[in-house]
Structure 1
Amino acid sequence: MEIELKLLLDPVDVNRFRRHPLLKKHALNKPQSRQLNSIYFDTPELYLKQNHTALRVRQVGRRLVQTCKSGGQVAAGLHQRPEWESEVSGAKPDLPALLGLIEAGSAVARLMSAPALAERLQPIFTTQFRRTIWLLRLPSGAEIELALDQGQVIHGDKTVPISEIELELKAGDSASLFDVALELQNSLPLRAANVSKAERGYALHSPQAPEAVKALPLTLSPALTLEQGFQVLMHNCLAQIQGNEDGVMHGSDPEHLHQMRVGLRRLRATLGLFKKFIQAPPEIAMQLRWLAGMLGPARDWEVLAASTLSDAARRRPHEPQLEHLRQHAASVAGKHRHAAANALASRAYARLLLSLGSWLEGRRWRQQQSTEQIAALSMPLKKFARSKLVRLQKKLLERAKGIKRQGPAKRHRLRIAAKKVRYAAEFFESYFPFKRMRPYVQALSELQDLLGVSNDRNVAGSLLQQIAEQHPELEPHCDLALSLLDEGARLRSSKIKRVWRKFAELAPPAKPD
């Protein structure tokens, strides 16, 4: 199992990195450099890529080494994945030798045993880079291979540069990788890298616009403790957040920003679910609020321009002022999105991810806990899931009292309560009978979506008021848009009542499977 942390390093900072005191303090040897040239293989239809597998042959001096990497997970730049490698006699993969290393009957073994796979393999792209290696030993006893890679990924006449640091764990705790990264980042603008060299090569081979990444489905093991479950959920949320980074920074599809914000909300909801047992450090909580504050306005303005005002303009095509208003909102949304993209490129965001990684991998919350509190972390996650859902459901029912007469502020609190129940239900869904849990989650999702649309109207009203105050000439346009929004609000209010009655008849399943 390869465990490594990848960090992007601007080429202009390479000399500063080489002089970093950390290298002199912890290095066991002088750095060693070598040229590494690799050919990545796949079928014409990219069979291996479609199955989340990379296969390469790398020249290391006079040796040729084939390597297969498959599956695994990535969070906060930490890559954990199984890896198999062996020497080969030529510049082509030797599948029988590789299969001799892979557990028989495993998913990877079946994948690599596909009929005529060897005959269909062909070079897809190459990487050429200079690797400089330091072996570090930390006071904790952890040993880390630190590699500086500089070169390029090549496909035909297209190239992308490689300038990155890889911290590979050789012995000790994976949290030590983040400790080294944070020490380096004190003086270098490093960023966590979730994309491997292989993924960059495939992007050169088959350029595609990045797809918005939704939350990955969760199937929780019945054997998980509360603490282990917390780590699993946090990594799931981080994967959704980081999976949408590229789309927010370099794309224009509003869905990337939406899904990144959802991932952040799910992560903060996870912290809320477990706060009785695990407390986030104040600096991490503050950084998460900062990130939410950067993504929130961008998302609000994009919803106003791309959804709310677009719908209004379609309903009233003979009112050109609505389209004029939409264009103005789109311009403001663009500025906020640019600010959000800059935030993701900042050292503050990089430090947030590395700090989260260090805290999660090192279970740093234990440092402030008593023996009794640490013991409580070993309770079965399934037991915690049931009791938590019951408490959240009770709070939601209290928030819904007098739903027919609730104003915007109370509806907003109801929406937040519904969202917390929905996230918890989706997190723990695999623990409960499907026939009971699925209708509950679906009804809850319908309720939250309706409350979300209602909240969008309230946010839109606030943003339109801002436009009217800053641009008096647009005030009549804003008044027209608000009148159209109010028409829809009356219809939604009656629908919310019907959906609530349907949901209130349901309850969380009595007990886990």
Structure 2
Amino acid sequence: MPTETELKLHLEPEVVSQFKQHPLLQTATHTTAPQHLYNTYFDTVNHTLLQQGIGLRIRRMGEQRIQTIKSAGAGLGGLHQRQEWETLVSGDSPEYSQFPPEALPTWCHDENNLQQIVPLFVTDFTRMTWHLILEEGSEIEIALDQGEVKTPAACLPLCEVELELKSGSPTKLYQIALKLQKALPLRIENKSKAALGYALHQPQPPQFHKAGTLNLTPEMNAEQAFVAIIWHCIGHWQANEEIVLHSDAPEGIHQMRVALRRLRSGLNLYQSLIPKESYTKLHHQLKWLTTILGTARDWDIFTQHLAEIQRYADDSLSDLSKTIAELRRNTYVNVRHILDSSEYSRLLLTLGKWLTQRRWRKNMEMRALQSLEQPVSHFANQILPARYQKLCQQGEQLSKLNAKQRHSLRICVKKMAYATRFFSNLYPPATTLAFTKILSQLQEQLGILNDARTVTTLFNQIHPTTASSTRQLLKKYFKQHQDENLNQLAKIWQNFLEQPPFWNLTTE
């Protein structure tokens, strides 16, 4: 039961010849001539196997037929890791008896279910490969695939580079990808060929994705938990790429920005163990990307509130509405341009390399290394009380805080909320749910109050003059809700102070 580890990169067809001449490929110990690969993928029309986390295909190479089952696996930072089983077959239909029992989900044990499995789509491409043996002995196969993904009704061009790890560390895949990308406009491809085929067979509008559950376990040490946290945030981030690239739905931008804020919060959370000096450049790049997304998110907020005001205002806001729509559209174009750039993929590749290489360990003293190896529960029991104390101090005299100070409190609440959700699986759910719920309520209420500050700032960018009937209308709109929101915030804050910290409940 081998595990396939590969990095996928999209390549524009017009630079294929340039790719083939890259100096790195000239060092290959072995090169194969172009080979035609014709792959038929099987599932039910409702994608039952996909829902079971299984991919089933038959590859035709000349007269040979190879059937393969792959597990769902992970696709983060372009890196795909899956278990796979391969067997020779005599024809173009699956022979399920050839697979070991553990390769097939329970659903496949029923012969009636197997009858529902049919060919869904085809990948038809030509592959060239280069086999590299690196100085320290790692082996990597580089494949160039050019062709099509096809269903009876649609077709999608395919041009991608796959770096498959034959032996060694996944870090080497990132290093090779970064070397290639210095000369070529390579972009990370997180969708497998199968995923492209499924999307072509049954097109669906892009969906936004929330963070989901992070499954830390008490057996992990602090460093293992850190790596899991950052990969989880990257997964949340990249899960929203499609909706940001192909939809104007505001939730996509919002979730991608949340993912980046969670990631940066995770880095900050571990600053006592993993100093910022070990990722200074990454820190600046992540902050830059978060700011770009934040600008787009701010115009979304303005758009949403303006639509609410227009419900009871006259047509005097129509010109402002058109201006806001144009500015929002421009920020989305800018975001998409960045996500489609080599620089963006380079950021993800560099982050993946940093995580797999654990670069922060370089030049660490023994005592610091030992701190990384402490149980994650010990680290959580240190960091959560510290965050809690800082939050309580920030919220003292809540009723006297101005808008800027409330914004600082909001950031503090978010950091507490992210830390709580990162480590919540280490504690009994009954003790964490109430605490997490109150933090969510605080976030929401402070967010509503901060919207007035955001909208006012953006309006000042468009119309800096003070005498404006529209300005007065906006001020009146937010003032109508402010007192009620402040009263609600005070109640939630009091509930928060009365809620016993869950880490105390489990350590007493």
State if a TM-score over 0.5 links the two structures: yes
Q: What 5-or-longer segments of structure 2 have no aligned partner? A: none
How many angstroms apart in 1 are the aligned matches of 2:445 and 2:84? Answer: 46
Correspondence for 1:294:
292
TM-score (norm 1): 0.95
Aligned pair 1:383/2:378, yes or no?
Answer: yes
Aligned pair 1:453/2:475, yes or no?
Answer: no
Correspondence for 1:440:
435
Q: Please tell me whether the aligned partners of residues 432 and 511 of structure 1 are also in contact (alpha carbons under 8 angstroms).
A: no
Amino acid at match of 1:488: H
Correspondence for 2:317:
322
Aligned pair 1:185/2:181, yes or no?
Answer: yes
Correspondence for 1:481:
474
Would you identify which runs of 4 or more consecutive aligned residues in structure 1 move more than 3 Å?
Answer: none
Alignment of 1:320-359 (within 5 A): 320-359=315-354
Q: 1:467 aligns with which of 438, 452, 462?
A: 462
Q: CA RMSD in A?
A: 1.6
Correspondence for 2:36:
35
Which range is displaced more, 319-328 or 427-436? 319-328
How many angstroms apart in 1 are the aligned matches of 2:110 and 2:206? Answer: 29
How many angstroms apart in 2 are the aligned matches of 1:512 and 1:176? Answer: 42
Q: Please tell me whether the aligned partners of residues 191 and 350 of structure 1 are also in contact (alpha carbons under 8 angstroms).
A: yes
How many angstroms apart in 2 are the aligned matches of 1:111 and 1:428? Answer: 35
Q: Deviations over 1:102-128 (max 9, x none)?
A: 36xxxx532432452321110100010
Q: Please tell me whether the aligned partners of residues 206 and 246 of structure 2 are also in contact (alpha carbons under 8 angstroms).
A: no
How many angstroms apart in 2 are the aligned matches of 1:221 and 1:401? Answer: 35
Q: 2:307 aligns with which of 305, 310, 315?
A: 310
Q: Deviations over 1:38-79 (max 9, x none)?
A: 001111221112223211111123211111112211211001
Q: 1:234 to 1:112 in 2, by over 3 A?
A: farther
Which range is displaced more, 389-398 or 218-227? 218-227
Correspondence for 1:402:
397
Q: Please tell me whether the aligned partners of residues 55 and 72 of structure 2 are also in contact (alpha carbons under 8 angstroms).
A: no
How many angstroms apart in 1 are the aligned matches of 2:110 and 2:364? Answer: 51
Correspondence for 2:282:
284
Alignment of 1:26-425 (within 5 A): 27-100=28-101, 102=102, 108-279=104-275, 280-305=278-303, 307-314=304-311, 316=312, 318-425=313-420
Amino acid at match of 2:298: D
Which range is displaced more, 69-78 or 113-122? 113-122
Q: Identity over the aligned pairs, expressed in percent?
A: 36
Which range is displaced more, 387-396 or 51-60? 51-60
Correspondence for 2:483:
490
How many angstroms apart in 2 are the aligned matches of 1:115 and 1:411? Answer: 62
How many angstroms apart in 2 are the aligned matches of 1:383 and 1:9? Answer: 46
Amino acid at match of 2:348: L
| Cα deviation, residue 252, structure 1 | 1.1
Q: Please tell me whether the aligned partners of residues 386 and 512 of structure 1 are also in contact (alpha carbons under 8 angstroms).
A: no
Q: Secondary structure at the match of 1:116?
A: helix
How many angstroms apart in 1 are the aligned matches of 2:457 and 2:138? Answer: 53
How many angstroms apart in 2 are the aligned matches of 1:505 and 1:122? Answer: 59
Correspondence for 1:431:
426
Q: Secondary structure at the match of 1:82?
A: strand
How many angstroms apart in 1 are the aligned matches of 2:262 and 2:84? Answer: 31
Q: Please tell me whether the aligned partners of residues 99 and 112 of structure 1 are also in contact (alpha carbons under 8 angstroms).
A: no
TM-score (norm 2): 0.96
Aligned length: 502
| Cα deviation, residue 199, structure 1 | 0.9
Amino acid at match of 1:72: G
Q: 2:498 aligns with which of 499, 502, 505?
A: 505
Q: Please tell me whether the aligned partners of residues 322 and 481 of structure 1 are also in contact (alpha carbons under 8 angstroms).
A: no
Correspondence for 1:9:
11
Q: Deviations over 1:178-213 (max 9, x none)?
A: 000000011111111111111111111111111001
How many angstroms apart in 1 are the aligned matches of 2:69 and 2:50? Answer: 12
How many angstroms apart in 1 are the aligned matches of 2:31 and 2:81? Answer: 27
Q: 1:157 to 1:477 in 2, by over 3 A?
A: same
| Cα deviation, residue 216, structure 1 | 2.2
Correspondence for 1:20:
22
| Cα deviation, residue 92, structure 1 | 1.0
How many angstroms apart in 2 are the aligned matches of 1:435 and 1:85? Answer: 45
Q: Secondary structure at the match of 1:21?
A: coil
How many angstroms apart in 2 are the aligned matches of 1:395 and 1:454? Answer: 21
Q: Please tell me whether the aligned partners of residues 309 and 323 of structure 1 are also in contact (alpha carbons under 8 angstroms).
A: no
How many angstroms apart in 1 are the aligned matches of 2:318 and 2:492? Answer: 33
